[in-house]
Amino acid sequence: MKKPDLSHYEFSGHSAGKVEDLKRLGKAEKESMRMAGFDAEEKGTSASFVQIDHDNAFCKSYNPGVEILPLGLAMHMHEGLADYRWRLLKPEKDEYTRMAADNPHGGYVIRVKKGVRLDQPIQSCLMMHTNNVGQNVHNIVIIEEGAEAHILSGCTTTEADQSAAHIGISEFYVEKNASLTFTMVHNWGEKVDVRPRSAGQVEAGGIFQSNYISLKPVRNLQMYPSITMKGASSISRFNSVIVATEGTYMDVGNRVILDAPDTRTEIISHAIASGGHIVARGHIQANHAPSKGHLECQGLLLNKGIIQAIPELDGRAEGAELSHEAAVGKIAREELDYLMIRGLSEEEASSAIIRGFLDIDIMGLPNELQAEIQQAISETEKSML
């Protein structure tokens, strides 16, 4: 694993202060937020949160069923929150969790109250605005019993050529019969180093669906979030679509622990290394039966890209059914031929195959975000051919 050098980033001194009205943000800010899936117009939003550099800039809930607060304020207001912070992750896990624990810059706390079913998403944007800034955030998400929510979490730099480091700690609590869809869109640049550290637990009957999209370059990103299916009959699904262009190194994957009977998980990733380097990991551990887990990695190599798929199945209970499927290669000749006999040129055929490969229909995104991502995919796909 390649390690980033974080010594030249500034992890203090960049407090931007509050933004009263998101509409008045600069064009570059709004544009980069949009690319990260955040709508500054806040159309159809249950709540919004924006962090810029070392400070919370905006935080507002439009639904009484959603409590959203910057971490510091939340810790101050809710004594009980201390039980949730650093419960699933430990500060001593590695140097990045250590940094986030020693020098916290905030982050969001989202609580969706018991039984509340949101039909509009909660959106957040973690932005790095100043050149050479280093950001440590800690996010806590609690979906209470029977509640249902979709959180869109966008991470971005303001400018694509900006240098920045992002360390993001996230802890997810999906309570009994609750459902969380967590969509993370990364919109980084060639001089950005990223170390998310995430963990979650899902209680009985709960559903955790994670979508991860990263189409832009990033210098060095490594993450391996771990979700524990703690309660019986809980379900999780992970879909990721990632592209690594030249200069990009991504070491990403999902780890799921089936820690109760009748739990299920499915991890599916589609990765394109177009000149970049991807390490695609996956780990399913089954401690109870019956349980079911499927791990799938589809990798496409273009322009001398590298993909290392490292799947791991760890069955510890008789009756657990675990499977994995991985394929890494170039665009299949027979697929190209098939489209070419319908009249498409080789380039048109490749482009249709790549677009299909990066299909995000399964993620169930809001229409506008879906269209936004499709647009980004079309642009990315052109740059790969």
Q: Which of 81, 232, 326, 352 binds other proteins (CB under 8 A)?
A: 352
Using rule CB under 8 A, residue 325 touches other proteins: no
SS3 sequence, 48-107?
EEEEEECEEEEEEECCCCEEEEEHHHHHHHCHHHHHCCCCCCCHHHCHHHHHHHHCCCCC
Q: Which two tokens stand for residue 53?
A: 């550099």
Instruction: Compute the least distance from the CB of residue 339 to other proteins, in Å.
Output: 7
Using rule CB under 8 A, residue 379 touches other proteins: no
Using rule CB under 8 A, residue 326 touches other proteins: no
Q: Which of 357, 363, 373, 381 binds other proteins (CB under 8 A)?
A: 357
Instruction: Compute the least distance from the CB of residue 335 to other proteins, in Å.
Output: 5
Using rule CB under 8 A, residue 20 touches other proteins: no
Cβ nearer to other proteins, comparing 306 with 352: 352
Number of Cβ within 10 Å of residue 334's Cβ equals 7
For other proteins, which stretch binds (CB under 8 A), given 209-217, 222-230, 307-315, 339-347? 339-347
Cβ nearer to other proteins, comparing 310 with 327: 327
Contact 106, 71 (CB under 8 A): yes
Q: Which of 177, 324, 320, 207 is nearest to 262 (CA)?
A: 320
For other proteins, which stretch binds (CB under 8 A), given 63-71, 304-312, 347-355, 368-376? 347-355
Q: Which of 73, 77, 310, 332 binds other proteins (CB under 8 A)?
A: 332
By CB under 8 A, the residues from 250 to 289 that bind other proteins are 270
Q: Which of 346, 378, 379, 385 binds other proteins (CB under 8 A)?
A: 346
Cβ nearer to other proteins, comparing 254 with 350: 350
Q: Which of 155, 178, 273, 353 binds other proteins (CB under 8 A)?
A: 353
Kind and range of the H or E element at 254?
strand 249-258
- The amino acid at residue 46 is S
Per-residue contact flags (x/-) with other proteins for residues 282 to 321, judged by CB under 8 A: ----------------x-----------------------
For other proteins, which stretch binds (CB under 8 A), given 95-103, 209-217, 242-250, 336-344? 336-344
Asked if the peptide bond before residue 225 counts as cis, ω within 30 degrees of 0, the response is no
**Contact partners, residue 349, CB within 8 Å, separation at least 6:** 335, 336, 339, 340
Number of H helices, E strands in the chain: 6, 20
CA quadruple 17, 135, 153, 370: dihedral sign:
positive
Q: Which of 151, 156, 129 is nearest to 140 (CA)?
A: 151
- The amino acid at residue 313 is L
Using rule CB under 8 A, residue 374 touches other proteins: no
Phi, psi at 343, each rounded to 5° = 105, 0
Using rule CB under 8 A, residue 13 touches other proteins: no
Kind and range of the H or E element at 244?
strand 235-245
Cβ nearer to other proteins, comparing 155 with 358: 358
Using rule CB under 8 A, residue 334 touches other proteins: yes
For other proteins, which stretch binds (CB under 8 A), given 51-59, 223-231, 283-291, 352-360? 352-360
Kind and range of the H or E element at 296?
strand 291-302
Question: Which residues contact other proteins (rule: CB under 8 A)?
Answer: 270, 298, 332, 334-335, 337-346, 348-349, 352-353, 355-359, 361
